[in-house]
Amino acid sequence: MAIPSVDLAEFLSGDPVRKNAFVQELGKAYEDVGFVAVKNHGVPDELIADLYKNVQEFFSLPLEQKKNYEIPELAGQRGYTSFGKEHAKGSEAPDLKEFFQYGQTPRDNFKAEEYPPNVLVKQVNGFDMTFADAYRAFETSGTALLQAIALYLGLEEHFFNKFVYNGNSILRAIHYPPITVEPKSAIRAEQHEDINLITLLVGASADGLQILTRQQEWVGVTSLPEQIVVNVGDMLQRFTNNKLRSTTHRVVNPARELWHTSRFSIPFFLHPQSSMSLQCLDSCVDETHPKLYADATAGEYLDERLREIGLKK
């Protein structure tokens, strides 16, 4: 399935007509599908290549070395999380993956007490700098997309900016190792929805991502190499009282002849500051669309979800 494709350069063009056309195109895609492919996203190709190179090098380290970067009390929010620790909400089966998470870094008005420090990796040359650069690039691209979403929702264009700046976004590098024994399931990562506002996914190293359509059919997602896939998360769905869709998705195992291969995936989960209210927008609530969610902050909701997926006790 080729998901709707949008060109971020149209939004940034300075032409009001092209900008508005982008806003409408993006908003309708998020109402209908919940996923889009974005070209001219602003994350440099060389940076993406360096990111994948560093990620593959890190996950190729011996397990005892990777475990030096695992800090259980951080609930997977920084550093390494070993294989089989996370599961989808409502599922007891662990996902067949290990991952590394990198979070917000200090800048103006940064409150260090709100976030744990990043876990630095010295065994992979350039790892920390590459992650820092990629984090900012994804944050910039995501902020522009949220500006378009704000306009679509009838909000002031920069409504989300103050929440994203110094927000709780996460850059996650995922490794699905080769399959060495007959799996109990055809699923590498069980069906789930993302927790955050939006997720930016730079091309995975192999196929496997599927989304659940309105017709309750699983279809594979395809995008071109120069595009990134961006989907709505539960926080934005909640904030818009289900006007914008947080679409269920999963990662399936490859064909048997490819079991010996790894799959790498690097999503950027764009989170706001924990204090942001997710109270449903008044403009998205009426007699036809009654309010579906209790009021909560982004921090409260994130804490609830981390417990549900087994990362926090």
CATH number at residue 205: 2.60.120.330
Residue 79, domain member (yes or no): yes
What is the per-residue pLDDT for 74?
A: 86
Q: How many domains in the chain?
A: 1
Give yes or no for a contact between 217 and 269, defined as CB atoms under 8 angstroms apart.
no
Q: What is the pLDDT of residues 106-159, one digit of tens each?
A: 888 888 888 999 999 999 999 999 999 999 999 999 999 999 999 999 999 999
Model confidence, pTM:
0.93
The reply to whether 196 falls in a domain is yes
pLDDT digits (tens, 9 = 90+) for 233-258: 999 999 999 999 999 999 888 888 88
CA distance 234 to 246: 5
Task: Summarize pLDDT for 16-51 with one digit per residue, the tens.
Answer: 999 999 999 999 999 999 999 999 999 999 999 999
Q: By residue range, what is the domain housing residue 200?
A: 5-308
User: Is the residue at 19 inside a domain?
Assistant: yes
| 251 lies in some domain | yes
Q: What pLDDT does 313 receive?
A: 67
How many whole angstroms separate alpha carbon 112 and alpha carbon 36? 34
- pLDDT over 80 (residue 292): yes
Q: From residue 258, how far is each of 96, 150, 208, 255 by CA, in Å?
A: 15, 42, 12, 5
Q: Is residue 46 part of a domain?
A: yes
Both tokens of 163, joined, read 């929440």
Residue 313 belongs to some domain of the structure: no
If one counts every other C-beta atom within 10 angstroms of the C-beta of residue 16, the result is: 8
Residue 197 lies in a domain: yes
* Pick from 106, 118, 105: nearest CA to 78: 118
| Tokens representing residue 172 in the block | 């996650």
Q: What is the pLDDT of residues 162-204, one digit of tens each?
A: 999 999 999 999 999 988 887 776 677 778 899 999 999 987 6
Residue 101 to residue 81: CA distance in whole angstroms: 8
Please say if the pLDDT value at position 73 is more than 90. no
The answer as to whether 208 is a domain residue is yes
